[in-house]
Amino acid sequence: MSLLLILGVIAVTQVIFVVLLAAFVVVRRERRSRRVQRVQSGRAQLSAPLAKWLVEASSVEKFVAGLRVLPHESALAFASEIHDMRVPLEQRASFGAALRNAPCVHWAIAGAGSWRWWRRLDAARALGIVGTLDDADALRELLEDVHPAVRLAGTQALTAVADAELVRVAVAHYPYEALAVRHFTTNTLRTVWQLAEAPLRSFLTSPEATARELAAWLGLAESLNLPSLRLATTALATHADSEVRVAVARALRRYPHAETVEALRRLLDDPQDFVRAAAAQALGTLRAAEAQPWLERRLTDQAWWVRFRCALALALLGEPGRAALRHARQSPDRFAREMAVMTSGLADGAVLELAEV
């Protein structure tokens, strides 16, 4: 075949492809528009049974049966929205039970072993609504999925499948999880804190735990805000690794207690500046009036961040702290003077906002 003929064939193929692609775009746009209309009209049809069920004027089964008019993905998405609504726990439980045999849920759970991660994601999401203790094995696999999005949805199912072993697994995996998965694990563990408390305490006191693990578990303990974890947290204030000490400093702001303030005073003299900064921030959050002289002293710290956090903490201590900042504006120390000028101009709202971040 000559080169000219090859080029000719390629040119004709290109024309065919261009026409096919244009046709595909036009047809797809039309089909999508019809599908959107179908979903919108289906959801509109469901609004009356939904409203009746929410005011307990009709049974949940009626509404769940109505979900069949929607394509599976849309039905599941709608069910997720309803599950996330602020409805009484009993109503949510009855919704989960009624939905268990809905076709969209069967379809979603059947995808738990799929090679496509978005199908596994749908399975995890469905289990978050309808899961029970019987689904513990399936959920465990989803919690150990390779895709973080699936693990994220899986952690949300822990509320429904409140299994002690699964909660322990979630806490054990926590230090190795992506930010978003950690965040949602924390939110879920708040709802099953009774199951999370024991494994978390045992991990925090484990001699085998690495600094990275301890720092992550301290962060989790801080978020769960369980008084029973205060001692285990404070005990780590003298840990050799600064990553752990800074996590302790952050976590201690959740525990207003004399021992906490004393531990933070020691951390305010830590050799690492970021630990001192976190300790100052925590003392401000705790509104620890007794910390005022320590914070004033640290306004001359070598590290900008420590001076900044101390100045904000002083501003949070109310009038005495503000007075100390005004006084520091005349300080012979340039660092203290500049930081006092910078923070004393801030409005109360601004101080709160900056101190939080």
Is residue 3 part of the contact set for another protein (CB under 8 A)?
Answer: yes
How near is the Cβ of 127 to another protein at its closest, in Å?
Answer: 14
Interface characters, 150-179, with another protein (x: CB under 8 A): --xx-----------------------xxx
Is residue 17 part of the contact set for another protein (CB under 8 A)?
Answer: yes
**Which position among 56, 81, 262, 290 is part of the footprint of another protein (CB under 8 A)?**
81
Is residue 8 part of the contact set for another protein (CB under 8 A)?
Answer: yes
Task: Tell me how crowded residue 23 is: count the other CB atoms within 10 A of its CB.
Answer: 10
Among candidates 188, 260, 243, 259, which has minimal Cα distance to 220?
188
CA dist 186 and 174 (Å) reads: 9
CA dist 22 and 6 (Å) reads: 24
CA dist 350 and 357 (Å) reads: 11
Tokens read off for 299: 């306004």
Instruction: Name the segment binding another protein (CB under 8 A); options: 80-88, 131-139, 194-202, 209-217.
Output: 80-88
Is residue 14 part of the contact set for another protein (CB under 8 A)?
Answer: yes
Answer yes or no: are the C-beta atoms of 262 and 249 closer than 8 Å.
no
CA distances from 255 to 264, 277, 284 (A): 11, 18, 13
CA dist 55 and 87 (Å) reads: 10
3-class secondary-structure state, position 286: coil
Is residue 28 part of the contact set for another protein (CB under 8 A)?
Answer: yes
Q: How many helices (H) and strands (E) does the chain have?
A: 21, 0
| 245 half-sphere exposure, CB direction, 13 A CA radius | 22
**Which position among 43, 72, 182, 250 is part of the footprint of another protein (CB under 8 A)?**
182
Is residue 181 part of the contact set for another protein (CB under 8 A)?
Answer: yes
Interface characters, 58-77, with another protein (x: CB under 8 A): -------------------x
Interface characters, 289-328, with another protein (x: CB under 8 A): ---------------x---x--------------------
Q: Which residue has the tokens 């009209």?
A: 41
Our CB check for another protein shows the closer of 186 and 260 to be: 186
CA dist 350 and 77 (Å) reads: 39
Residue 197's region, left for phi above 0, alpha for psi from -120 to 50, else beta, is: alpha
- Chain positions 323 to 352 lying near another protein, rule: CB under 8 A, are 338-339, 341-342, 345-347, 349-350
Is residue 15 part of the contact set for another protein (CB under 8 A)?
Answer: yes
- Chain positions 188 to 247 lying near another protein, rule: CB under 8 A, are none
Instruction: Name the segment binding another protein (CB under 8 A); options: 24-32, 92-100, 164-172, 317-325.
Output: 24-32
How near is the Cβ of 149 to another protein at its closest, in Å?
Answer: 7
Is residue 357 part of the contact set for another protein (CB under 8 A)?
Answer: yes
Instruction: Name the segment binding another protein (CB under 8 A); options: 92-100, 144-152, 209-217, 251-259.
Output: 144-152
Among candidates 284, 279, 281, which has minimal Cα distance to 269?
279
Our CB check for another protein shows the closer of 217 and 237 to be: 217
How near is the Cβ of 169 to another protein at its closest, in Å?
Answer: 17
188-194: Cβ within 8 A, 24+ apart: 188/155, 188/156, 188/158, 188/159, 189/158, 189/220, 189/224, 190/223, 190/224, 191/158, 191/159, 192/158, 192/159, 192/162, 192/167, 193/224, 193/226
Instruction: Name the segment binding another protein (CB under 8 A); options: 25-33, 49-57, 287-295, 315-323.
Output: 25-33
Is residue 149 part of the contact set for another protein (CB under 8 A)?
Answer: yes
Which residues contact another protein by CB under 8 A?
3-4, 7-8, 10-11, 14-15, 17-18, 21-22, 24-26, 28-29, 77, 80-81, 84, 117-118, 125, 148-149, 152-153, 177-184, 304, 308, 338-339, 341-342, 345-347, 349-350, 353-354, 357
